[in-house]
Amino acid sequence: MQKNKSAGTLSLPVKALLLIIPFLAVFISLFFGRYHIPLSEVALSLIKPESVPLASRVAVLHLRLPRAIASAFVGASLAVSGAAFQSVFRNPLVNSGILGVSNGAGFGACVAIVFFGGGVFTYFFSFVFAVAAVLLSYFAGRISRVTTSITMILGGVIVGAFFSALVSIMKYVADPYSQLPSITFWFMGSFASINYSHLYALIPMGLGMLLIFLSRWKLNVLSMGEREAASLGLDVKKAQILIIGGATLCTAAAVCISGTIGWVGLVIPHIGRMLTGNSNQKLIPVSISLGAAFMVIMDLLSRTLTGSEIPIGILCALIGTPFFVYLLKKTKGGFKA
Amino acid sequence: MILNIDNLSFSYDKTPLLENLSLSADKGEIICLLGPNGSGKTTLLDCVLGFHRTFSGLVSVCGKDVLTLSRPELAKLVSYVPQVHAPTFPYTVREVVLMGRTAQSGLLGAPGKEDYEICDYAIARTGIENFSERPYTELSGGERKLVLLARALAQKAPLIVLDEPTSSLDFKNELLFLEMLSDLVRSDGISVLMATHALQHPLYFESEGIPSKAVMLCKGKPFRTGAPGELITPETLREVYGVRAEVTEIKAGGKTVKTVAVIGSDI
C-alpha cells in the first residue's frame, strides 16, 4: 500500500496526532483564565470534583470546559465547511461564509436584539436566517439554466449584500445606547457567554461535519467541474446538496453561538493544503483537527491576554495573518495552480 | 455492438443540427467524427454522454438506452476524455486517475483496495508511472492528456469518448497519443468514439489495420459515413469543408499511408 500513499488516506501516526491535538488544546485551556486556580485544583476538578472548592470547580467545569468544547466545534465547523466550499465552487479563495451565512445570521441576531431583547432569541434567529440565506443563494444560483458554481457564488454575493443592507437598517433603528453595542459586539464574535445550554448547537455542527467527512473523497471529483464529475459517474446535484447542506448546518450553528468569526474558514484549509496536500481525503480531517485546536487556543488567548476580553474575531485575524504568511514562506505554498 | 445510434436528431433551436443520424461501433472499433466547426461533433458526443437529453431517436451503449441510465451506470459503460480541462487544485496524478473509480462507490463512499489496484493498472497501462506522484497541474499538455486517458481507463468502460484529444499536442505527442489509443483498441478491445479536426487520424488508424469508420458531419447536409480511405476524397472535402485538396498514397517503412494535401480554399 506504500505506493498508494499520496492517493490514500493519512498514515496511522498522523491520524493519532490529528485526533489528539484538539483534546490537548481543550485540556490546556482549562488551566488558564483570569480567575486564578492552582494547577492541582484544575486537575482534581476533572478527576474528583467534590474535593475542590466550589468556585474553582465551577470555573473549570462550568465556564472553561463548555467554552473550550464550543470553540473547538466552531473552529472545526468553520474550517471544514471552508474546505468543502473551496472544492464545491472550484475556487481556493472561497471561505465558509460564501453563501451569505454570516450576513444572514447577522441579520437574524439584529432582529432578535432589536425586537426580542436578545438572549436565546439571538441564537434561534441567527440560525434560521443563516440557513435562509444559504437557501436563497442556492436557488438564486440555480435560476440561470446554465447552473455553474460561478452563478451560485454570485447568488451568495448578492444575498450577502442584501442581508448586509438589512443589517444596516437594523443598526439604524436600533437603540444606540443598549442595542447598537450588542449588535457590534455580536459581529466581533465571542465565546464569553457560552455555557452547557449552548451545546445543543453541537448537534447540527456534528451532523454537518459528519456529512462532509463521509463525502470527502467525492469533493475531489466535484472539484473537477460539474460536467467532468458527471461523466465520472457522480450524481452532481445530490452530492452538491449533501455537501452544501452539511456545510450550512456547520456554519449556521457555529455563527449562531459565536457571532461572526471570519478568516478561519479561509485560512485553516489553506494551512491544511500546505501541510498534507490538496486531496480532500486528507484535507477534511486535517481541517477539522486544526480548526478545532486553533480556535480553542485563540479563545484561550482572547480571554487571558489582556484585562478585558479581546473579541475573538479580531484576534483570529491579528494572530492568524502573520502566521499564515510565515507558513506560506516556509512551505512555498501548497497551492499552485 | 457496443454503441448504437439510431435515427438521432437534435436541435438547439428551430434549425436542426443533427438529423436522422445512425451509427454503430463494434467492440474494438474506432469511430472518428469529422466535420467543420459547428457541424455538431461535440453535440453528438454530448448525446452519447447523456449531457443532451432532448434528442429524438435512440442512443444505446451495450444495448442500454443512455437516457434510462443513472450517472454511475452510464459512467461504467462510457468514459470521457474532455477537450479542455481547467485544473483547479494541484492533485497528484494518482489522485486524478483514482477519480475514474467514482461510479463504483455510493454518494458517501470512498475508493477501496480494488479501486487502487485498477488505478495502478491504468497508470501502468498508459506509461505515466514516472510522474504519478507529481501534481498534475505541473505537467505538460501531452502528459496531462495521458493522465485524463488513464482516468478514463480506470472507469473500465467498454467505450471511450474523446473530444479532439490531440488538439493541444505537438507533432510527436500527437503520434504517441494515437499509438496509445491504437494499442488500447487492439489489445484491450476497447471501442472509441472521437471527434477530431485532423483528417489524418482516421487515415492513420486505417493504415494501422484497426477496424475504423469515419463520419463526416456538415450542417444542413446529410451525414456521410464509411471507411476512412473511401470517405476522405477530394470530392467530399470540397463539399463538406469547401477546400480543394488531393488525397495521395505514400509507401514508406513497409506501410501504405494515405495523406491529404491541401491545394487551396478557393473553389
pLDDT tens-digit series, residues A268-278: 998 898 888 89
Size of interface A-B (CB pairs under 8 A): 113
Mean pLDDT of B23-33: 96
Most A-contacting residue of B81, B88, B133, B137 (CB-CB within 10 A), to test interface: B88
pLDDT band at A198 (very low <50, low <70, confident <90, very high): confident
Beta partners for B264? B244
pLDDT exceeds cutoff 50 at A4: no
Secondary structure of residue A297 in the 3-state scheme: helix
Nearest CA-CA distance, residue B231 and chain A, Å = 31
Interface touch A87/B89, C-beta < 8 Å = yes
Interface probe for A, chosen from B43, B73, B101, B102 (most Cβ of A below 10 Å), is B102
Identity of the amino acid at A167: V
Cα–Cα distance, B206 to B199 (Å, whole number) = 12
Query: Which chain A residues are within 8 Å of B153, Cβ to Cβ?
Result: none
Residues of A in contact with B151 (CB under 8 A): 232
Q: How far apart are CA B95 and CA A223, in angstroms?
A: 12
Q: Measure CB to CB from residue A231 to each of B49, B105, B116 and give the nearest one.
A: B49
Contact B103, A292 (CB under 8 A): no
The pLDDT of residue B267: 64
Q: CB A272: neighbour CB atoms within 10 A?
A: 27
Residues 6+ apart with CB under 8 A from B244: B234, B237, B238, B262, B263, B264, B265, B266, B267
Q: Do A90 and B111 touch (CB under 8 A)?
A: no
Within 13 Å and on the Cβ side, how many CA atoms surround A31? 9
pLDDT at residue A190 in the model: 86
pTM of the complete model: 0.90
Q: Do B120 and A4 touch (CB under 8 A)?
A: yes
Q: How confident is the model at residue A1 (pLDDT cuts 50, 70, 90)?
A: very low
The distance of A47 to chain B (nearest Cα, Å) reads 39
Helix/strand/coil (H/E/C) assignment for every residue in chain B: CCEEEEEEEEECCCCEEEEEEEEEECCCCEEEEECCCCCCHHHHHHHHCCCCCCCEEEEEECCEEHHHCCHHHHHHHEEEECCCCCCCCCCEHHHHHHHHHHHHCCCCCCCCHHHHHHHHHHHHHCCCHHHCCCEHHHCCHHHHHHHHHHHHHHCCCCEEEEECCCCCCCHHHHHHHHHHHHHHHHHHCCEEEEECCCCHHHHHHHHCCCCEEEEEEECCEEEEEECHHHHCCHHHHHHHHCCEEEEEEEEECCEEEEEEEEEECCC
Q: Which residues of B touch A91 (CB under 8 A)?
A: 88
Q: Residue A5 has what pLDDT?
A: 44
Question: Could you report the predicted ipTM of this complex, rounded to two decimals?
Answer: 0.92
Give dist(CA A119, CA A50) in Å, integer: 32
Question: Using 50, 70 and 90 to split pLDDT, how confident is the model at B143?
Answer: very high
Residue B134 has pLDDT above 50, yes or no: yes
Cβ distance of A337 and B88 shorter than 8 Å: yes
**What is the predicted pLDDT for the residue at A336?**
43
pLDDT band at A334 (very low <50, low <70, confident <90, very high): low
d(CA B147, CA B142): 9
Cell of B10: 437534435
| CB distance B54 to B10 below 8 Å | yes
Judge whether residue A221 has pLDDT over 70: yes
pLDDT digits (tens, 9 = 90+) for A254-266: 999 998 888 899 8
Judging contacts by C-beta atoms under 8 Å, the chain A residues touching residue B51 are 227, 230
**B233 pLDDT higher than 60:** yes
Contact residues on chain B for A273, CB-CB shorter than 8 A: 89
Lowest-confidence pick of A27-41, A76-90, A231-245: A27-41
With CB atoms and an 8 Å threshold, state whether A230 touches B71: yes
DSSP output for A305-336: SSSSPPPHHHHHHHHHHHHHHHHHHHH--S--
Distance CA B90, CA A277 (A): 8
**Would you state the pLDDT for residue A3?**
40
Residues A128-153 have pLDDT tens digits of 999 999 999 988 877 776 667 788 88
Residue A331: which pLDDT band, with cuts at 50, 70 and 90?
Answer: low
Q: Which of B70, B75, B116 is closest, CB to CB, to A231?
A: B75
Look up residue A146 and give its DSSP letter.
Answer: S
User: Is A232 in Cβ contact with B74 (below 8 Å)?
Assistant: no
**pLDDT score recorded for residue A42:** 87
Subunit contact A279:B95, Cβ cutoff 8 A: yes
What pLDDT, on a 0 to 100 scale, did the predictor assign at position A290? 95
The residue of chain A with its CA nearest to that of B120 is A4
Query: For residue A7, is pLDDT > 70?
Result: no
Residue B49 neighbours by CB under 8 Å, 6+ apart: A231, B66, B74, B78, B80, B161
Closest chain B C-alpha to A215 CA, distance in angstroms: 5
Q: Determine the 3-state secondary structure of A134 from DSSP.
A: helix
Q: What is the pLDDT of residue B211?
A: 96
Residues 6+ apart with CB under 8 A from B203: B228, B229, B232, B257, B258, B259, B260
Query: Three cell numbers at B18?
Result: 443533427
In single-letter form, the type of residue at position A93 comes to L
Segment B171-223, tens digit of pLDDT: 999 999 999 999 999 999 999 999 999 999 999 999 999 999 999 999 888 89
Report the C-alpha gap between A255 and B89 in whole angstroms.
Answer: 28
| B30-49 per-position pLDDT tens digit | 999 999 999 999 999 999 99
Distance CA B123, CA B150 (A): 6
pLDDT at A2: 38
The chain-wide mean pLDDT, for chain A, equals 88
Phi and psi, residue A279, nearest 5°: -65, 125
